């Protein structure tokens, strides 16, 4: 990872970012400035437009590391801006927005036109806004709104700014920092192992967080709590029982570095990161908190697992789990809570079976080796069987109620 230092909305910011991290993901995920919207992620729709050194830029195709030393302004930073205030009023007056998804990027681009165009020429406004797509309005109200602001400002004697503040040749933001213009590309992209190691190094400073999603699970094994709790202290064995998990380096009680490979149909991800483990022997409970990133999808996750062991009447053990997580990036768009809960249930069931086999002295199946991917097809059919069972149970209860 690279430390990126820049100014965002007149505030100095420093944060770690992978070389591939876009400026859009940087301001959204690192700074929680979610007014910058992601649409096509190919630099076509314009929803992600921000100002870099005062010039509109597509933040979805601009690398954050390329903006080292630059001044970035998102839509949140234009709250007190005079031109943007006039545009917001004009957009309201001319009914220039409907769903509003394109509006932040549209306002940023429109502000640039208000600065540059000498007069409210409809053709020039349409050309200037051609890189900002809107699926709702038909553009008529938007063009009228922008034109009215230009006309009013020129009528008040406010002259256009030549080039709209553009004073540096080259791509937007390229005039800042040696990292953006002089370092070889190889130095901007460290090896995957180095990225994984640096990501793992940041785990010890994981801030307190509130999980976006929390759910409860439990499983039972026919072995006494003492043996189960002792086994959970053997990190290598725990990893071997979890499908898709492998360790990176030698684990320590306070620190574990590793990765989990997940493949569900065509979707594949490798989350690399680290975790710290806390245990309370007196209460037979523990907590695992960690963070991981998948480079390919530019997704990240932060989560925790809290567990507690209870003795069952027959001498076995009930393991109660509270699982909390926050998922960001592309995978968050498909990682619906219900699906994640169902998949977690399947994984926990497989983990419980492997744990029971290990405690019974049996060898683990080859399909659960630490380098094995999760089988998306088997998970899918497993989920289908589970849900079909629920639907049939509901239908049966409904029929009995109707008969009564």
| Helices assigned H by DSSP within 176-320 | 178-181, 185-188, 192-201, 225-231, 235-241
pTM of the model as a whole: 0.46
pLDDT tens digits, residue range 224-281?
999 999 988 888 888 888 877 888 878 876 778 888 877 654 567 788 888 888 889 9
CA-based nearest residue to 268, from 294, 240, 248: 294
In CATH, the number for domain 193-373 is 3.30.530.20
CA distance 130 to 333: 28
404/251 Cα distance (integer angstroms): 60
Residues 6+ apart with CB under 8 A from 155: none
- Looking at domain 2-77+163-188, its CATH superfamily turns out to be Beta-grasp domain (3.10.20.30)
Given the candidates 1.10.150.120, 3.30.565.10, 3.30.70.920, 3.40.50.2300, the CATH classification of the domain at 81-158 is 1.10.150.120
Residue 33 · residue 74 · CB < 8 Å: yes
Q: How far apart are CA 328 and CA 335, in angstroms?
A: 10
DSSP 104: H
pLDDT given for residue 377 in this prediction: 45
Read off the DSSP letter of residue 102: S
Nearest to 106 by CA among 152, 48, 38: 48
* Same CATH fold assignment for domains 2-77+163-188 and 81-158: no
**DSSP 3-state assignment of 113?**
helix
- Do 284 and 309 meet the contact criterion of CB atoms below 8 Å apart? yes
- Segment 223-240, tens digit of pLDDT: 999 999 998 888 888 888
Q: Give residue-wise pLDDT tens across range 153-165.
A: 999 999 998 767 6
Residue ranges with strand state E in 146-235:
213-221
pLDDT at site 267: 64
Residues 6 or more apart from 309 whose CB is under 8 A from it?
225, 228, 229, 284, 285, 317, 318, 319, 320
Q: Which contiguous run of DSSP H or E holds residue 401? A: helix 376-403
pLDDT at 33: 94
Q: What is the pLDDT of residues 168-205, one digit of tens each?
A: 555 565 555 444 343 433 333 344 344 444 444 444 45
Cβ-based neighbour number of residue 241 at 10 Å = 23
Domain boundary assignment for the chain: 2-77+163-188, 81-158, 193-373
Any idea which residue has 């245990």 for tokens? 279
| pLDDT (tens digit per residue) in 85-142 | 999 999 999 999 999 999 999 999 999 999 999 999 999 999 999 999 999 999 999 9
Residue with tokens 């995957």: 192
Look at residue 388 in the predicted model and tell me its pLDDT. Answer: 64
């Amino acid at each position: 990872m690279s430390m990126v230092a820049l100014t965002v909305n007149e505030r100095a910011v420093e944060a770690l970012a992978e070389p591939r991290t876009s400026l859009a993901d940087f301001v959204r995920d690192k700074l929680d400035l979610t007014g910058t919207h992601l649409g096509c992620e190919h630099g076509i729709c314009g929803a992600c437009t921000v100002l870099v050194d005062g010039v509109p830029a597509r933040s979805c195709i601009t690398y954050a590391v390329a903006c080292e030393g630059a001044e970035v302004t998102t839509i949140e930073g234009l709250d007190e801006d005079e031109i943007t205030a006039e545009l917001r009023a004009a957009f309201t007056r001319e009914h220039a927005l409907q769903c509003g998804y394109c509006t932040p990027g549209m306002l940023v681009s429109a502000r640039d036109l208000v600065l540059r165009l000498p007069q409210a020429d409809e053709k020039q406004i349409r050309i200037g806004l051609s890189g900002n797509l809107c699926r709702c309005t038909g553009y008529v109200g938007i063009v009228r709104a922008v034109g009215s602001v230009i006309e009013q400002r020129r009528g008040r004697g406010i002259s256009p700014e030549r080039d709209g503040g553009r004073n540096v040749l080259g791509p937007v933001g390229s005039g800042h920092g040696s990292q953006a213009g002089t370092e070889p590309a190889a130095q901007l992209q460290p090896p995957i192992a180095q990225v994984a190691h640096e990501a793992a190094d940041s785990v010890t400073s994981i801030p307190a967080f509130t999980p976006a999603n929390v759910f409860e699970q439990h499983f039972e094994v026919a072995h006494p709590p003492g043996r189960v709790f002792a086994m959970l202290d053997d990190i290598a064995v725990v990893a071997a029982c979890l499908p898709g998990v492998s360790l990176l380096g030698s684990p320590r009680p306070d620190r574990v570095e590793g990765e989990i490979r997940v493949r569900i149909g065509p979707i594949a991800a490798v989350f690399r990161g680290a975790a710290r483990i806390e245990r309370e022997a007196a209460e037979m409970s523990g907590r695992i908190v960690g963070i991981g990133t998948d480079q390919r999808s530019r997704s990240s996750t932060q989560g925790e697992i809290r567990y507690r062991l209870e003795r069952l009447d027959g001498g076995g053990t009930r393991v109660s789990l509270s699982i909390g997580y926050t998922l960001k990036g592309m995978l968050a768009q498909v990682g619906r809570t219900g699906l994640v809960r169902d998949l977690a249930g399947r994984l926990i069931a497989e983990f419980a079976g492997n744990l029971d086999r290990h405690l019974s002295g049996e060898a683990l199946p080859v399909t659960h080796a630490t380098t094995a991917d999760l089988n998306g097809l088997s998970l899918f059919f497993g989920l289908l069987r589970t849900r079909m069972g629920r639907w049939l149970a509901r239908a049966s209860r409904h029929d009995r109620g109707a008969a009564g």
